[in-house]
Chains A and B, each alone.
Chain A
Amino acid sequence: MLATAIIVFREVLEAALIVGIVMAATQGVSNRSLWVGGGIGGGALGAVVVAGFAETLAAAMAGIGQEVFNAAILFAAVAMLGWHNVWMRRHASELAGAANRLGAAVRAGTQPLWALGFAVGLAVLREGSEVVLFLYGIAAAGQDGAAAMALGGALGLVAGVAAGAAIYFGLVHIPMRHLFSVTGWLILLLAAGMASQGAAFLLQADLLPPLGQSLWDTSFLLSEQSLTGRVLHTLIGYTAQPAGIQLVFYLGTLLVIGGLMRLVGTPARAPRPNDAAAARRTQLQPGE
């Protein structure tokens, strides 16, 4: 039962951390539960379908179906996260222009949520399909009692969700005026880590050259199998022994998304009438 709980926890953890960050990044957006909830629900449904076709998927495309599918999901999620960050930067001046907490929340409320909803769905789909496969395998083999398996699975799920909740509540402690730049950085690093993972799948499928099997090996410092290693793997793309191509994709993603953010970001903005009004409001409400 404990073994089941640990494996379910590990798979849930990655998706839960992403959901936690997305929830923090959409703090104050009115219909976010609908989008994030929809992403989780849609992803879970998709996970069951993918798990059901696991064998067909593995045999597809002359045996590289699994790799191509995983890479496609990861790159789609990278695109969604990147799009979100670029959109946020494009509207950053309006968000920062809001002088108080409520104002920032209301303005952030205009951000479109489909991109993050999709990103959540894709993360749940990828991790969830492994959970379903694993649990189905145990159930089919009748190794563990059904009750013990269900309990183990539930324990793992609860622990994973708790980790996601922890990162969310940690993040929302950050003052509103800094919150979106912090979540922006986190999302950028998430995206870079996913791109590096996607590159690893294409390398496995022999569609990309390794450009160096292992650039370095830090597994003696921090194993990717440890809890900290797994959390950092999700959050910043930590890889103990990265192949060269992974570093190329990691840095490339940082450069492309970061570059686009810089490109659309409004440089030194001239004071506008509503800024002056906002400033007056702040002066009138020193307690805010």
Chain B
Amino acid sequence: MRALVLAVLIVLFTSFSAVADPGPVTITIKDHAFVPAEVKIPAGAKVELTIRNEQAVPAEFESASLHREKVVSPGSAISVYVGPLQRGRYEFFDDFHPATRGVVVVE
């Protein structure tokens, strides 16, 4: 019985979050710019963002609206999951070089 309830819950849970997975998205930081500086992802999906730092200096990928804050060493990459999110614009920036900005557009 308990297993059945658990199975039902799992099915319910996964079906609610089952939005087509757009696959991982890679953003490169180069010459103090995010490339691409605008990333589109579908609403309700959980997306893996890979941030690759191709600079000689470390960067810190940060976003207040996405609640993300992660150091990216020079010449390496990190990944963070974002979402499921509602429609809107979610800005991010490099905390070590705050003029370097980008945005995740959820639509």
Contact = CB atoms under 8 A, between A and B. Distances in A.
Contacts of B85: 213
Contacts of B67: 200, 203-204, 210, 213, 241, 243, 246
Interface string A213-230: 110010100001100000
Interface in B68-89: 68-74, 76, 78-81, 85-86
B38 interface: no
A55 B70 contact: no
A140 interface: yes
B88 to A, nearest CB: 9
A3 B98 CA distance: 10
Contacts of A225: 64, 98
B5 to A, nearest CB: 20
Nearest to B75: A55
Contacts, number: 72
| Majority DSSP secondary structure for residues of A touching B | helix
B98 A204 contact: no
Contacts of B12: none
Q: How large is the interface on A (under 10, 10 to 19, 20 to 34, 35 or more residues)?
A: 35 or more
A138 B64 contact: no
Interface string A51-95: 000110011000100110000000000000000000000000000
A224 B5 CA distance: 43
B57 A138 contact: yes
B54 interface: no
B91 to A, nearest CB: 10
B70 A204 contact: yes
B57 A55 contact: no
B4 interface: no
Contacts of A243: 67
B42 interface: no
Interface of B: 55-58, 60, 64-65, 67-74, 76, 78-81, 85-86, 95-98
Interface of A: 3, 7, 54-55, 58-59, 63, 66-67, 130, 133-134, 136-138, 140-141, 143, 200-201, 203-204, 206, 210, 213-214, 217, 219, 224-225, 239-241, 243, 246
